[in-house]
Amino acid sequence: MAITLPDLPFAEDALAPVISARTLEFHYGKHHRAYVDNTNKMIEGTDLAEADLLTIIKKTAGDTSLAGLFNNAAQVWNHSFYWQCIRPGGGGAPSGPVLKKIEADLGGYEKFVEAFKAAGATQFGSGWAWLVLRDNKLEIIKTTNADTPVAHDLTPLLTVDVWEHAYYLDYQNRRPDYLGAFTEKLINWDFVEANLGG
Ligand code: MN
């Protein structure tokens, strides 16, 4: 089975002006597509040729001789997840079980926003900030480059891509502004709730 590029869950211009169509044209249409194409080239003719994406990620994680494949496969997974984490008219505080869980584990919505934005802003260079479940408790973490919680047996609930290609056309060097817009205007809390199992 080939690894496939999932459709974007919204039109390329649907997030503007928070994220422009131009950014999505490159971020989804070039970067994400290239990770898919590279992964398929690298697994062709190997014993991972028929494997699904999560299997490829778990079998290559931590193996420096397979770092190229891990990086591309993990980036396919991370981006497919990221698009589902955002939506037009999203963001702001959640309600229901997600809000209750944030209050219980993270001290409330304002503290979540502060910690999530800080994780994204302090990830040096390329990477991701995440809301994950570890032992059924919420935790905010960051990963470098392509690294992904699914390689570490954590359950991801939400992510923000802080590679420059995610925001540079719209925010240039102002990563904190992108993170502020992400939390205020983009987060798809229904997706987070589904990931929480609620
Ligand atoms: Mn990206």
Predicted local confidence at residue 171, as pLDDT:
98
Tokens of 15: 């997030």
pLDDT tens for 90-129 read 999 999 999 999 999 999 999 999 999 999 999 999 999 9
Is 179 in a helix, a strand, or coil? helix
> Do residues 46 and 66 both lie within one domain?
yes
Question: Which one of 85, 104, 133 terminates a domain?
Answer: 85
Q: Tell me if 86 sits within 8 A of 186, measured CB to CB.
A: yes
Ligand 1 midpoint to CA 125 (Å): 13
Report the relative pairing of strands 155-161 and 127-134 from DSSP bridges.
Answer: antiparallel
pTM of the model: 0.97
> Do residues 123 and 184 both lie within one domain?
yes
Predicted local confidence at residue 104, as pLDDT:
98
What CATH number is associated with residue 47?
A: 1.10.287.990
Predicted local confidence at residue 36, as pLDDT:
98
> Do residues 29 and 74 both lie within one domain?
yes
> Do residues 143 and 77 both lie within one domain?
no
- Angle, in degrees to the nearest 10, between helices 189-196 and 67-85: 120
Ligand 1 midpoint to CA 166 (Å): 5
Predicted local confidence at residue 1, as pLDDT:
64
Ligand 1 midpoint to CA 32 (Å): 7
Domain count, the chain: 2
> Do residues 32 and 76 both lie within one domain?
yes
Ligand 1 midpoint to CA 111 (Å): 26
What CATH number is associated with residue 141?
A: 3.55.40.20
Ligand 1 midpoint to CA 23 (Å): 10
Ligand 1 midpoint to CA 26 (Å): 9
Is residue 7 a part of any domain in this protein? Answer: no
d(CA 118, CA 112): 10
Is 145 in a helix, a strand, or coil? coil
Length of the chain: 198
pLDDT tens for 148-183 read 999 999 999 999 999 999 999 999 999 999 999 999
Question: Which one of 61, 85, 109 terminates a domain?
Answer: 85
Ligand 1 midpoint to CA 104 (Å): 31
Ligand 1 midpoint to CA 27 (Å): 6
Is residue 5 a part of any domain in this protein? Answer: no
For residue 108, give its domain range. Answer: 96-196
> Do residues 33 and 107 both lie within one domain?
no
Question: Which one of 38, 56, 85 terminates a domain?
Answer: 85
> Do residues 111 and 142 both lie within one domain?
yes
Backbone angles phi, psi at 60, to 5 degrees: -105, -15
> Do residues 188 and 105 both lie within one domain?
yes
